[in-house]
């Protein structure tokens, strides 16, 4: 947000394009959102991190488990803001999958910060675009205002279903709620007396040996799953059908992973994971120790690809710095020093941006040494008609420098 007719900085002038009617409308809407963001308190603003996440959840882009529909969200976000802004930097933010993905991840992490403009853009987007993905409909407990079951209903449910869990499911309440109701109404819900004797234990063992599922064993012999699993601890050699399938699934994933390592002997595990994500997920969740033992630790890591910068923005940045250097060297004005601070201030670049671009050699070096700056100041004083034979204090005053600076310069250069 800027004052009307305010002089833009050099880099801002290069990035700002001529907006059309649609871009002008979008820029005006963005400015209104930014104004609300600046005026409202952070705790009550609808553009803080918590409010932005809540807006995305209300629009369906983040599900109840906190998972975000990343691929669809990024694609829809890019389409929504396509051609919306004339400023080259803002257009790049809204059209770059990498920048949008990083901003979303920072938004969802409590230990990360995110720029306010991202919160504004996400809230704006979520208010206009709803997620159309099908949502799973899961059975839920009755709302808090629902009347609890009566004493007669609790007794009838326990007599009919026998167990606390089955009765709770029939009444559509949790087991904890049903237990509390039993205590309130004085209904006996204590477990029945132990009836798993040696004969019943032998029959259960035989049934599990022939492969009968645990659910059928529980119904056939009138015991609970807790009792069944307690008895299974005495038979470690017995595996339920579900566990047998899981072990077979893990063994299949092992074979896939070993075949993949044999097929690509010089490839790191991170690359193999991308080739076979399903097998890696099964092993990581269920057999992490085996996966760690098969890790290729002697393979050199592939260096990360250098970050690519937009050539158009770099050209604008170099052009802005070149104009800033020319302003410092204007012969009609007192010379300004071409220092890091002066160049980035005149061009309108932040310190972090300037340091990154300079360290990576992405922009030209327009800086000058202190000696060069003093000599340009002295040359400016001579052009004004100052005699070099005059006292140092008068020469310093004409050049706009201190007397001690002139004296040290003469001593070091001999001029």
Highest mean pLDDT among 258-262, 300-304, 380-384, 407-411: 258-262
**Is the pLDDT reported for residue 1 higher than 50?**
no
| Residues recorded for the chain | 415
CA distance 86 to 217: 70
Mean local confidence (pLDDT), 173-190: 78
What are residue 62's DSSP bridge partners?
A: 68
Least confident of 287-296, 301-310, 329-338, 357-366: 301-310
Q: What value does the mean pLDDT take over residues 198-225?
A: 86
Residue 191 has pLDDT above 80, yes or no: no
What is the per-residue pLDDT across 228-242, written as a single tens digit (0 to 9) for each? 887 787 777 777 777
Helix boundaries (H) for 162-310: 164-171, 175-185, 198-209, 214-221, 225-232, 241-263, 269-275, 277-286, 288-293
| Confidence tier at 143 by pLDDT (50, 70, 90) | low
| pLDDT on residue 400 | 79
| pLDDT for residue 278 | 92
pTM > 0.85: no
What distances in angstroms separate CA 308 from CA 38, 356, 360, one per listed residue? 33, 13, 11
In this prediction, residue 280 carries a pLDDT of 92
DSSP letters for 84-116:
--SSHHHHHHHH-HHHHHHHHHHHH-TT----H
Question: What CA–CA distance (Å, rounded) separates 319 from 138?
Answer: 59
Residue 396 backbone phi and psi in degrees, to 5 = -65, -40
* CB-CB neighbours of 221 under 10 Å: 16
- What pLDDT is recorded for position 138? 41
pLDDT (mean) for 19-30: 87
Distance of CA 48 to the CA centre of its chain: 15
Joined together, the tokens standing for residue 378 give: 């002295």
Domain limits of the chain?
10-128, 151-185, 198-238, 242-293, 307-362, 369-415
The mean pLDDT of the chain is 82
**Residue pLDDT, tens place only, 267-280:** 888 888 889 999 99
- Per-residue model confidence (pLDDT) at position 144: 56
pLDDT of 7 reads 57
* pLDDT > 50? residue 199: yes
Say if residues 131 and 77 touch (Cβ distance below 8 Å).
no
At 171 the pLDDT is 87
Residue 302: pLDDT band with limits 50, 70, 90? low
pLDDT, mean of residues 306-332: 83
The residues pairing with 68 across neighbouring beta strands, listed in sequence order, are 62
pLDDT at 254 exceeding the cut of 90: yes
What value does the mean pLDDT take over residues 95-109? 88
> How large is the average pLDDT for residues 165-178?
84
């Amino acid at each position: 947000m800027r004052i009307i007719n305010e002089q833009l900085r050099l880099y801002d002038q290069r990035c700002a394009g001529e907006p059309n009617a649609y871009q002008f409308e979008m820029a005006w809407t963005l400015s209104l959102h930014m104004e609300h963001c600046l005026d409202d308190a952070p705790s009550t603003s609808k553009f803080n991190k918590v409010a932005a996440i809540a807006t995305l959840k209300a629009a369906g882009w983040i599900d109840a488990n906190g998972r975000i529909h990343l691929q669809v969200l990024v694609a829809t976000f890019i389409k929504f803001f396509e051609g919306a802004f004339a400023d080259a930097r803002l257009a790049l933010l809204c059209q770059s999958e990498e920048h949008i993905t990083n901003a979303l991840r920072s938004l969802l992490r409590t230990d990360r910060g995110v720029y306010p403009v991202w919160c504004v853009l996400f809230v704006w987007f979520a208010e206009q675009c709803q997620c159309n993905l099908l949502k799973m409909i899961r059975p839920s407990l009755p709302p808090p205002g629902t009347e609890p079951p009566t004493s007669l209903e609790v007794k009838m449910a326990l007599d009919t279903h026998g167990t606390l869990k089955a009765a709770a499911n029939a009444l559509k309440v949790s087991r904890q709620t049903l237990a509390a109701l039993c205590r309130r109404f004085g209904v006996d819900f204590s477990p029945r007396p132990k009836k798993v004797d040696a004969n019943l234990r032998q029959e259960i063992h035989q049934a599990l040996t022939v492969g009968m599922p645990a659910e059928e064993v529980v119904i056939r012999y009138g015991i609970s799953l807790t009792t069944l699993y307690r008895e299974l601890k005495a038979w470690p050699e017995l595996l339920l059908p579900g566990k047998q399938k899981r072990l077979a699934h893990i063994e299949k994933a092992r074979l896939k992973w070993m075949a993949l390592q044999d097929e690509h002997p010089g490839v790191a595990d991170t690359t193999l994971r991308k080739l076979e994500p399903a097998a890696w997920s099964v092993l990581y969740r269920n057999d992490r120790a085996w996966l760690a033992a098969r890790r290729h630790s002697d393979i050199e890591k592939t260096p990360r690809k250098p970050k690519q910068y937009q050539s158009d923005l770099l050209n604008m940045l170099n052009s802005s710095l070149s104009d800033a250097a020319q302003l410092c060297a204007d012969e009609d004005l007192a010379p300004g020093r071409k220092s890091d601070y002066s160049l980035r201030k005149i061009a309108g670049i932040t310190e972090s941006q300037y340091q990154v671009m300079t360290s990576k050699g992405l922009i030209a070096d327009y800086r000058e040494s202190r000696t060069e700056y003093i000599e340009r100041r002295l040359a400016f004083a001579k052009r004004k008609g100052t005699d070099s034979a005059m006292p140092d204090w008068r020469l310093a005053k004409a050049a706009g420098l201190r007397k001690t600076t002139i004296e040290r310069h003469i001593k070091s250069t001999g001029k």
